[in-house]
Amino acid sequence: MTTRTDSGKADPPIEGRDDMLAVFAQGEKPASDWRIGTEHEKFVYRRDDHRAPSYDEPGGIRDLLLEMAQFGWRPIEEQGKVIALAGQDGTVSLEPAGQLELSGAPLEHLHQTCAEAGRHLQQVKQVGERLGVGFLGLGMWPDKSRSDLPVMPKGRYAIMLRHMPRVGTLGLDMMLRTCTIQVNLDYASEADMAKKFRVGLALQPLATALFANSPFTEGRPNGFLSYRSHIWSDTDPHRTGMLPFVFEDGFGYERYLDYALDVPMYFVFREGRYIDAAGLSFRDFLEGRLEVLPGERPRVSDFVDHLSTAFPEVRLKSFLEMRGADGGPWNRICALPAFWVGLLYDGAALDAAWDAVKHWSLDERQRLRDEVPKLGLKAVTPEGDTLQAFGRRILAIAEAGLNARARFNAAGDNESGFLDPLRDILASGKSPADRLLERYRGEWGGDVTRVYAEESF
């Protein structure tokens, strides 16, 4: 999640809707300036007993961050505690229960993206060797209850942890027990944003099926392939979901702004601390009627913060975030941006992807999204094809898009090789979770702790 590093004192106040719409419009870039920002999370555990380390304990999360400074990362503090790192490869930050996230730098091509992920994983593994911790690439803790997990000392998390049980039954699981991979992508114009948003939303269930990797809860199969995806269905209905209005005629910045303003607030950041505004209205804030800051109106940074507290399947800031994938190993960290860059960063591929989904109704899109967490690639599209068969066609479009980009590494390879893990998944018809369940029921003999040896970085 977003890490704030200042109080926003010099930030301009919001004078009207145009100031908020400008946040979206300022993201517009010519295709030559489009970049790829990849984010990935992993679980941190003690190697001797698989326990999730706390922040303060010797060799715990604080020490992990401090040790990372040897690689040139700069510590970021909140209330005197190191809660993130900044450097040339982006930002390293903490999720609520100590999940470690790399929010990568905006990069030109996927060869750079995969190299960035490799550098980061090499660094954390080197530190982990000294501290006795490992890093697990899954979509959900396979064996931990909520009570087993620590909470990191970040002000926004304390507010969210208090608020989540008021609005859903699974929000605490989202915060404490899940990990994801996502990619942030650019757009050229409002119309380009709208088309990419629509394709991204419609195809998010396919991404969820391809990356499904969270079949265990507290040591046993949970009945899902992506329980992480299921969790979002009962986290907070005011800030999650498939956003049907995105497919309406005329969708653009104005309509997304209205949606964002209707999302209840979590907090306001002032003087280095978070003020609890959970459930309050940003519209009231605009009128100077926010009860926790009476008479004060928001700054642009407050609106940017607020945008980060909506959690739809695709999210708009000054870029688009694709948010449907479970956490996983290094090759799938590279495969997710390859999938979306191939589909969205080439005009012919974007047109072909839209043609494949534009006739689906709202109910059909929602049904597919609802079925995928359990069925994965066996879920059926509105045309009656399995997602496995449909996915082959979509992956061919992504491959063509990457080939057209013609971004080569020193060996002369283009970016399409990063799709190989997805080709393998589609060829087998088995998501990563299907394979985990096979091993659990077979060679693991029902011992889910075997996952630590086999799925760690």
Does 5 have pLDDT greater than 90?
no
What pLDDT does 7 receive?
45
Residue 9 has pLDDT above 60, yes or no: no
Closest CA to 94 of 54, 134, 58, 133: 54
What's the pLDDT score for residue 3?
64
DSSP output for 240-292: EE--GGGGSTT-SHHHHHHHHHHSPP-EEEETTEEEE-TT--HHHHHTT--TT
φ, ψ for residue 94, nearest 5 deg: -110, 135
Residue 353's domain comprises: 17-455
Left if phi > 0, otherwise alpha if psi is -120 to 50, otherwise beta: which for 29? Answer: beta
pLDDT of residue 129: 98
Given this model, what pLDDT does residue 309 score? 98
Residue 3 domain-assigned (yes or no): no
Looking at every residue in the chain, the average pLDDT score rounds to 97
Helix (H, G, I), strand (E, B), or coil: what is residue 395?
Answer: helix
1 lies in a domain?
no
Among the residue ranges 8-17, 71-80, 341-350, the one predicted with the least confidence is 8-17
CA atoms of 27 and 329, how far apart (whole Å): 30
Integer-rounded Cα Rg, in Å, for the chain is: 21
95 DSSP assignment: -
Amino acid at 368: L
CA dist 47 and 13 (Å) reads 49
Reported as a single tens digit per residue, the pLDDT across 325-347 is 999 999 999 999 999 999 999 99
| pLDDT of 25 higher than 50 | yes
Whether 7 is covered by a domain: the verdict is no
Separation between Cα atoms, residue 93 and residue 322, nearest integer Å: 19
Yes or no: say if 64 and 100 are a contact pair by the CB < 8 Å rule. yes
In a domain, 5, yes or no: no
According to DSSP, the β-strands at 74-78 and 81-87 are antiparallel
Look at residue 359 and tell me whether its pLDDT is greater than 50: yes
The total number of structural domains that make up the chain: 1
Establish if 348 belongs to a structural domain: yes
Span 132-156, mean pLDDT? 98
- Looking up residue 345, the CATH number of its domain turns out to be 3.30.590.20
For residue range 381-432, list pLDDT tens digits in order.
999 999 999 999 999 999 999 999 999 999 999 999 999 999 999 999 999 9
Q: In this model, does residue 6 exceed pLDDT 90?
A: no
Closest CA to 137 of 269, 331, 348: 331
Q: How far apart are CA 195 and CA 201, in angstroms?
A: 10
CB 21 within 8 A of CB 253: yes
**Mean pLDDT on 40-62:** 98
Tokens of 220: 């046993």
What is the model's pLDDT at position 8?
45
Q: Is residue 365 part of a domain?
A: yes
Residue 10 lies in a domain: no
Residue 11 lies in a domain: no
Is the CB of residue 221 less than 8 Å from the CB of residue 212? Answer: no
